[in-house]
Structure 1
Amino acid sequence: MTTPHTPHGTPEAPLLTVRGEAELETEPEIARITVTLTARGRDRRTTLDDLTRRNTTALDLIKSYGDTVERLTTGTLSLTPELSERGRGERVHAYHGRVHLTADLTDFTHLAELTTRLADLELTRVDGPWWLLRPDSPVYRQARQHAVREAVQRAHEYAAALGTTVTALTELADTGTDRPQPTRAPLTRGLHRATLTGAAEPPEPLDLEPERLHVSAQVSAHFTMAPPTL
């Protein structure tokens, strides 16, 4: 087991330990929505066919937005029998089908329109959007660089307060970069049944404003100083 190195100062080279912290506020890069499609019926095959049809309709709608959608994935699919509470034996009363979709959008111009149109589909639930940054977003690098610069500035300020100067950096440790937790806009549309009396007017798109995200970074730095006169 390796023992962590702990720097030590000497009277000839006093040790100065500082923290550097930074917090940046930035616009999100991705809006993520989840779509849950459901079907219910007494016949297993009919329920599965309904679920397949609704899944195809939702996929076609999402794909029609082209490059606006960066990523589209299908999650779990389930078809569950519901047993009757009456009678003897394992008699199936109904079947419940469900499939989950996840879509990441990078162009927020069409976000409100797409989410509203999805929520207007038959027996479809839409959740989100969750505002995110990409894992390799340059914002993380910028936050770390700001934290390092703050550590250096603090070291010089402390040394100046002692009437001396910083002479060398002996250790720099990354103590953490905090990724923003996904935040969700207030959109949750429940299961929707299509009207049977004719085509309804398309719904008005919801007003969805991207929420600014916060990224923070922290470093710990060890410097040596020229001996101060105390």
Structure 2
Amino acid sequence: MTPDTGPTDRHTPATTPTPPAVPYGTPDTPRIAVRGEAHLEVDPELARITITVTARGKDRRQTLTDLTHRNARALDLVKTHGDAVEHLETSALTITPELGRHSRGERTRTHHGLVHITAQLNDFTALGELTTALADLDLTRVDGPWWTLRPDSPAHRAARRQAVHEAVQRAREYAEALDTTLTALVELADTGTDDTHPRVPQTTRALSRAAYGAAPTEDEPAPLDLEPQRQHVHAQVVARFTMAPPRL
């Protein structure tokens, strides 16, 4: 006697398991893998400078007052350039007492004050004017500029598009060499888009005349003529295609 196994759904069709995707080519669907690259040289979009304001004196309160006034003077000077300045921040502030080398006890010989300011500009004409004006202030140091592109710069998009176009063209040339054609794109991998140019400052240091010990003059100095440093953008992709079986 056959045991009762319960009701069954006679209308459910039998399912055929889907074969796993083959990660490699076959004689019927050969694959081709190529690399596409792009190298662009473009003008920078932003420039960053750092400003260091210094004060020094035997009296702590007077040193702090001098530092406050010089910091305010530098900030006001940067802000006069309006929309040309996209970013302005105070990155560090230090007030350091210096003890006498040969004095007994904790006698302070002098006080050092430093304020570090970072400014980012998009107008390079204003950059030259600002750098010169800042360097003309008392005990003020300017470092930079560091040239760069925006994170969403069109140059990055252009490099990616060019890298993809090169990959497709290279794959077509390989297929044509086999007297066949591409049939489908299987995979497109982005290996990165970046600015490969070293972001070194064009001018390493600019100090005020007072820092060199020279007496300031009433005439304003001529603005520095800064030549923007070209930026190199690189993009690379790896693309895999299937192609019609060639006749070998």
Q: What TM-score does the superposition give when structure 2 sets the normalisation length?
A: 0.86
Moved more, 146-155 or 84-93: 84-93
RMSD, matched Cα: 1.8
Alignment-mate amino acid for residue 224 of structure 2: L
Q: Distance in 2 between matches of 1:142 and 1:43?
A: 58
Of residues 99, 109, 116 in structure 2, which corresponds to 1:100?
116
Alignment partner of 1:61 is 2:86: no
Alignment-mate amino acid for residue 158 of structure 1: Y
How many residues end up aligned between the 2 structures? 226
Alignment-mate amino acid for residue 39 of structure 1: A
Moved more, 211-220 or 179-188: 179-188
Partner of 2:47: 31
Confirm or deny: 8 A CA contact 2:34 2:240 kept in the other structure. Answer: yes
The CA deviation at 1:32 is: 0.9
**Bigger radius of gyration, 1 or 2?**
2
Alignment-mate amino acid for residue 217 of structure 1: A
Q: Distance in 1 between matches of 2:96 and 2:200?
A: 32
The CA deviation at 1:99 is: 0.6
Partner of 1:184: 201
Q: Distance in 1 between matches of 2:22 and 2:70?
A: 61
What do residues 125-154 of structure 1 show as CA deviations (whole Å, max 9, x unaligned)?
Answer: 001111111111121111111111110110
Alignment partner of 1:72 is 2:97: no
Q: Distance in 2 between matches of 1:97 and 1:144?
A: 47
DSSP 3-state at the match of 1:110: helix
Partner of 2:174: 158
Confirm or deny: 8 A CA contact 2:27 2:245 kept in the other structure. Answer: yes
What do residues 31-62 of structure 1 show as CA deviations (whole Å, max 9, x unaligned)?
Answer: 11110001111111111111100000000111
Q: Distance in 2 between matches of 1:69 and 1:61?
A: 11
Residues 211 and 196 (structure 1), Cα distance of their counterparts in 2 relative to 1, 3 Å cut: closer
Partner of 1:88: 104
Gaps in structure 1 of 5+ consecutive residues? none
DSSP 3-state at the match of 1:96: strand
Confirm or deny: 8 A CA contact 2:136 2:207 kept in the other structure. Answer: no
What do residues 135-186 of structure 1 show as CA deviations (whole Å, max 9, x unaligned)?
Answer: 1112111111111111011000111011111111111100111224424223
Partner of 2:136: 120
Alignment-mate amino acid for residue 207 of structure 2: G
Q: What TM-score does the superposition give when structure 1 sets the normalisation length?
A: 0.93
The CA deviation at 1:201 is: 1.7
DSSP 3-state at the match of 1:60: helix
Partner of 2:165: 149
Q: What percent identity do the matched residue pairs reach? A: 61
Confirm or deny: 8 A CA contact 1:132 1:183 kept in the other structure. Answer: no
Of residues 233, 237, 245 in structure 2, which corresponds to 1:215?
233
Partner of 1:193: 210
Residues 207 and 58 (structure 1), Cα distance of their counterparts in 2 relative to 1, 3 Å cut: same
DSSP 3-state at the match of 2:51: strand
Q: Distance in 2 between matches of 1:183 and 1:42?
A: 37
Alignment-mate amino acid for residue 64 of structure 1: T
